[in-house]
Structure 1
């Protein structure tokens, strides 16, 4: 196939779509979990384990092949990762028990971890030359919008279909295969390296100041995401007493739609200002969500989801842009992969801990402790980001040239 069948703009659009698709497939199972729980009779603890093994597969892939595309090229890594993602949704499609869910989530995690660094780097490389921030912006917005679409569409299917898994997963499987074939037609932005192949995740010296400055906001934002993906459907049903089957998925969708808006808002702000404002909103969102559980208010829960979602989008975009500006083409995938290791650890470890203690402490008490944890992180990120803003920008040794 002609390696230049797609131009720069079409290639950028395809990678945005691939990002949205990948993220939609990772949130699609969440609204179906309560049905799986009824169908096969397992506990909330098992539910969070199913959620956590996805992150284990993802982080394992990031640590081993996260920077592979810096060596062999973006195209082969992305095509392979999308086919692995198709295998994951196919396993969900045919799942017959908890074991199948665990395997499917691990496969999904491996696919996402393999693709993440290559997608983020490719979006930087195919950005318009006069708008280099568009790549990190679309990485952030595509991630959140995909999570919103997956949770929202599946939430509606849960309401209208007795077997939503028999609808959503076949569609995702077919689309993944088609997109994998299309990826072969984009230009290859990376020159294949010769010599020993040693994929790695790491942060070179010139990128470390920006990378470590971004960590508090990354952890705060992704901890909110973990709360929603792992526990929101159960909280809406059991604590807020909303009996609609679609409510849990729609709650996830609201968070991530607000996340998308926050990402677009951040594109109009300097990176550090976006990170600071996002951290402030994360703090306010955690307070609002806790108040919603105290008063049993669905409206306040919705407001808290929107505020927190805006905060996640602002911080994710701001931190990605700061990190991107401090990388070179030779290390970009490795550095983005390192950022995602931090992100997904924050996504999974608190939610896994919540699932383990929920049976003995109760879901509501566990949620309060989780939100307190997010609040402390968010305030810390706000203070840290404010200090960075006052200090002003530092010169970057190796800024990207796109």
Structure 2
């Protein structure tokens, strides 16, 4: 079955040590010693830098809306153009990154982010805003796929849980810092809608420097160890104890050949090779035996991300209605608090079982949407802030749980595409629902639209929690079942 040989090689690599290495030092993906831990943290910086751009425009929409005179529906359409670009990027970036390497995807994405920043800084029409959002979505999609996978590559097999935590929190830290920085600079610096994007260009330049220096394993080593049909011994049924490439080249030790079923899968390398030579543009996916894990991640991450997208797109307008104020600092602060809650909860729950993290994430999202409805009907800014924090906690836990399931189960040669698949599942509803609510709000009012949205999202999040409870085996890393995938 597709992906089996890759998984076998990854399992072998995770359980071995490099000959001659210091005691306790596990091997990197290319067979050498692991980079220092600080490189793993630094590898997450490009993700932070790009996600600062992703939401930097949030508190500025009120200014653009007043200057350019567009409706709430148009506002959410501009916001959603980002998701269109992101989803299009995800169809390509994960596959390209897994085949040609992380850097050839990351470096152009960072440059494109700088181009988007220029369009934002000079925007004078709705079309320019939509174009800037679209280009920033492409950049973010590429970094979601390749950047998060790069963090895992640098971390190595023995630090996959740390890699998932850092990649996930890097995303939400950047997403939270962006609107706060924009709000503060728009009220304290000249050029209220341009200064933050000048700063963002500087951040992206620093990210380019980091990517250029990242100690990433060579793609040839990942192809070999992942057995994409280009020299991996496991794909040819050769015993890895006898050396000569594949996992053995990474210093794999002895072990019963039948333990991994190697001899029974002589054709897996040819099937993996067919997969590797397939379409460059396709809906990202994971091997069939891991689809249950992917679907559970999406079931929790999707409602959480959709809830935070609503807060980002219409939260400032809702805040303005409640307070009769268009303070950009306040709007940016609400988004910042939301994503800081997302960051903090991920560090707080990192040692819990993945199944527990997913259930907690779904319940947090449902609670956040219930509080959102209450905030709208009581005109309470405090409750609106609480709803944002709970939504952030739901997204963060859904993202961490989904990434942890994929990182612990898939080989590095399929990891970028798996990250893309998780994000496609999350961003599809995150783009569609807020736009629908935006146009609905133009007809029935923002309060009614927000109430309907909160009710639907709370129900969807509870369905996600129920799926995790029912499909227990899929909700734990390291075991592959088909129970959930077979229900599709």
Q: TM-score scaled by structure 1?
A: 0.92
1:79 match = 107
Distance in 2 (CA, whole Å) between partners of 1:36 and 1:355 is 16
Cα contact 1:23–1:143 (8 A) shared by 2 = yes
In the alignment, the residues of structure 1 paired with residue 187 and residue 321 of structure 2 have an alpha-carbon distance, to the nearest angstrom, of 17
* Bigger radius of gyration among the two: 2
Matching residue of 1:385: 468
Q: CA–CA distance in 1 between the matches of 2:389 and 2:339?
A: 8
The answer for the alignment partner of 1:125 in structure 2 is 153
Q: Measure the CA separation in 2 of the matches of 1:256 and 1:372.
A: 22
Deviation at 1:392, TM superposition (A): 7.3
In 2 relative to 1, CA 61–129 (structure 1 residues): closer, same or farther, beyond 3 Å?
A: closer
In the other structure, the counterpart of 1:146 is: 174
**Are residue 238 (structure 1) and residue 321 (structure 2) matched?**
yes
Q: Deviations over 1:256-279 (max 9, x none)?
A: 110111221231211111011111
**Could you tell me how far apart the structure 2 residues matched to 1:346 and 1:365 are?**
20
Rounded to whole Å, the distance in 2 between the matches of 1:343 and 1:383 is 18
CA drift of 1:327 comes to 1.1
Structure 1 residue runs without a partner (length 5+): none
CA-to-aligned-CA distance 1:198-245 (integer Å, 9 cap, x gap): 434222112112111222112111111111111100000014534533
More deviation, 389-398/264-273: 389-398
2:331 to 230, 245, 248: 248
Provide the C-alpha distance between the structure 2 equivalents of 1:263 and 1:143, rounded to a whole number of angstroms.
Answer: 12
2:368 match:
285
The residue matched to 1:268 in structure 2 has which SS?
Answer: coil
Q: Which residue of 2 aligns with 1:47?
A: 75
Cross-structure match for 2:455: 372
Aligned to 2:415: 332
Task: Work out whether residues 274 and 314 of structure 1, in 8 Å CA contact, stay in contact via their aligned partners in 2.
Answer: yes
Q: 1:69: Cα distance to partner?
A: 1.0
Q: 2:359 aligns with which of 273, 276, 285?
A: 276
Q: Distance in 1 between matches of 2:420 and 2:475?
A: 26
Matches within 5 A, 1:220-231: 220-231=303-314
1:294: which partner in 2? 377
- Equivalent residue, structure 1, for 2:193: 165
**Inter-CA distance 375–47: structure 2 relative to 1 (3 Å threshold):** same
Give the structure 1 partner of residue 257 of structure 2: none
Give 3-state SS (helix, strand or coil) of 2:43's partner. Answer: helix
Root mean square deviation of aligned Cα:
2.3
**Maintained 8 Å contact 2:354/2:476:** no
Post-superposition shift, 1:96?
2.1
2:50 aligns with 22
- Per the alignment, residue 361 of structure 1 pairs with 444
Matching of residues 86-235 of structure 1 within 5 Å: 86-127=114-155, 130-161=158-189, 163-192=191-220, 196=277, 198-199=279-280, 200=282, 201-235=284-318
Query: Which residue in 1 is equivalent to 2:433?
Result: 350
Pairs aligned (count) = 394
Could you report, residue by residue, the CA deviation over 1:283-333 in whole angstroms, capped at 9, with x for unpaired residues? 111111111111111112222222222222122111211122221122111
1:26-81, Cα deviation, whole Å (9 max, x unpaired): 10001000001112212211111111111101101111233211111111211111
CA distance, structure 2, for counterparts of residue 105 and residue 245 of structure 1: 19
TM-score by length of structure 2 reads: 0.76
Whether contact under 8 Å (2:343, 2:396) holds in the other structure is yes
Q: 1:231 to 1:51 in 2, by over 3 A?
A: same
**Distance in 2 between the 1:309 and 1:394 partners?**
24
Match of 2:424 among 328, 341, 362: 341
